[in-house]
Structure 1
């Protein structure tokens, strides 16, 4: 029985699974996005998120902590270049993000074996995805009114308030002269 065993074994022995996740993590750090199966992407996300957290500057305030975190990350990744890249480039980009450093986007099924494919990427390194969506204007809606009608009503109220303010400002300017 496998009750309470939360790790996904990915049909591999322990050494093979750890080596595969380390190699995939190094590729993700180097290329900023990789294509793989959904199961491997989910396992990689659980593997790499704590490592990115350890690489952030706020966790490496003292030299002792920084060296300790670097050694822990190197133990998992086993690649000097990936560790250097993680602690320099990646940690600077994700410094203000409290978590959720990776994104999994499902791509459909692979032709050969019909496996569910996904792209896993570092969130802060995709300029197209982040810049494509402008921030929405926040509108206040009352609980009783519906969705889109309330937005139109609130926009009309805002324009009326702005017009009233400009009229009062114009009147005060006229009275001063």
Structure 2
């Protein structure tokens, strides 16, 4: 069968290998809160991670069993998933993960790379980049662009104590004096 609509990426693997790969990626994502992989793998793992966090928000027996079926090391990660991560995303309607494209990881095959990360976490890259942009604008005495203002709103909207934490990060960056023209 040539072409046609595909419901998911097959990733050039049979179904058992593909499921194991995605489970491994999601387990690493929950453990480390950020992973670096190829872009197609990141997009597929993102789908599974979103479902897993939605199960965690339900916090019932069925959701716990489904989460155990996805995670490779449930005894280590279930307390984190149903504790810290569940609390972080309880009031968020969706969009718990973000995929950021990066330069190819391997210079040999030039595969498109990406970082898959949990939003509003300690390793949130957009939060840090936006804080750096605000610190630079303040240091140069410039007004923030419309895009920077939108990003400030996005990174602080669902985060508990988001504005205070953001101002703290901007202060740390200003102290480092990294922002120069």
TM-score with structure 2 setting the length: 0.65
1:82 Cα deviation after fit: 2.3
Q: Which residue of 2 aligns with 1:160?
A: none
How far apart, CA to CA, are the structure 2 residues paired with 1:35 and 1:128?
13
Q: List aligned pairs for 1:153-164, cutoff 5 A.
A: none
Within the candidate set 113, 119, 125, 1:123 is matched to: 119
How far apart, CA to CA, are the structure 1 residues paired with 2:93 and 2:18?
28
Q: Which residue of 2 aligns with 1:90?
A: 85
Gaps in structure 1 of 5+ consecutive residues = 61-65, 138-177
1:127 Cα deviation after fit: 5.2
| Cα distance change on mapping 1:67 and 1:13 into 2, 3 Å | same
Gaps in structure 2 of 5+ consecutive residues = 135-147, 151-181
Report the 3-state secondary structure (helix = DSSP H, G, I; strand = E; otherwise coil) of the residue aligned with 1:34. Answer: strand
C-alpha RMSD over aligned residues: 2.0
Q: Which residue of 2 aligns with 1:12?
A: 13
Q: CA offsets per residue over residues 108-161 of structure 1, 9 Å max, x none?
A: 123121111111100011356326176839xxxxxxxxxxxxxxxxxxxxxxxx
Q: Which residue of 1 aligns with 2:109?
A: 113
Q: List aligned pairs for 1:71-86, cutoff 5 A.
A: 71-80=65-74, 81-86=76-81
Larger radius of gyration: 1
| Cα distance change on mapping 1:127 and 1:105 into 2, 3 Å | closer
Q: CA offsets per residue over residues 79-115 of structure 1, 9 Å max, x none?
A: 2122222111111111121101011111112312111
Within the candidate set 87, 98, 104, 1:103 is matched to: 98
Q: List aligned pairs for 1:163-174, cutoff 5 A.
A: none
